[in-house]
Amino acid sequence: MASTFDPLLNPSNDSSTVINSPPPSNLTQDDLKRIAAYKAVEFVESGMVIGLGTGSTAKHAVDRISELLREGKLRDIIGIPTSTTTHEQAVSLGIPLSDLDSHPIVDLSIDGADEVDPSLNLVKGRGGSLLREKMIEGASKKFVVIVDESKLVKYIGGSRLAVPVEVVPFCCDFTRGKLEELFREAGCTAKLRMKSGGETAAVTDNGNYVVDLYLERDMGDLEAASEAILRLPGVVEHGMFLGIATTLIVAGKSGVTVRDRFG
């Protein structure tokens, strides 16, 4: 098929791209998320240890894995959830669960992303689960990222939405100020994430807070930015997932695109 996909998906020669037949044009964003999730579950094989992602797109993948287990098309799957929300979903669906202490090597993780740049670097954690997601997906032999085409950006922070940083509660405003100062040249505004209603800080599954970075411009060298963030006392982890994703699945109006980082 002709190259009708977004050029952000194919910036270099380190990838292979497959485009399936286009879906109906009247699909909603949630429909596209489900299509990408179901495509990702095709990578799951019986006997695997699977990292179960968090968020609206990953939820479809967990549902699909459960369905295939009930049908007997998958067997002996062990899931490792990336959040308490996903843990509760998997338990309700009867998916056997474990953790990294018992299974330090994960065969495959499937999760969504808030942003994907042309090099398959990600922003994740707008749902607050970035630390557990990075631990589990970083321990995975293969990490399949599932998104709809709205998540594609030219650079990290390009959506002008949050790049999350998990911080300890102690003197969190001090840490917030240091983060904002760190990326002042990129037009950064750093805000402590609040619960609905705006009176108290949102708390992660790990009991920490989240500072959201809003960028007006490209922050530049992502590895250098990552190191600078992690050097700040008070920072636990950030939501930039650099070089972790192995496969990207994008569902869009022109069809489903699969890109492999390693070709």
| Alpha-carbon span 234 to 171, nearest angstrom | 8
% of the chain beyond a pLDDT of 70: 90
pLDDT bin (cut points 50, 70, 90) of residue 26 is confident
Q: Give the span between the Cα atoms of 15 and 248, in whole angstroms.
A: 10
Distance CA 203, CA 219 (A): 26
What pLDDT is recorded for position 10?
43
Query: In the chain, where are the structural domains located?
Result: 18-154+242-260, 163-238
Active site residues: 133
In the DSSP assignment, the letter for residue 162 is -
pTM of the model: 0.90
At 198 the pLDDT is 80
Dist CA 237 CA 246 (whole Å): 21
DSSP code of residue 198: S
- The CATH architecture annotation of domain 18-154+242-260 reads 3-Layer(aba) Sandwich (3.40)
Report DSSP state, residue 20.
Answer: P
CB atoms within 10 A of CB 91: 13
Whole-number mean pLDDT of the chain?
91
Q: Are 194 and 200 in contact (CB under 8 A)?
A: yes
Buried b (16+ CB within 10 A) or exposed e, 66-77: bebbeeeebeeb
Residue 12 has pLDDT above 80, yes or no: no
Q: Assign domain 163-238 to its CATH superfamily.
A: ACT domain (3.30.70.260)
Rg of the chain over all Cα atoms, to the nearest angstrom: 18
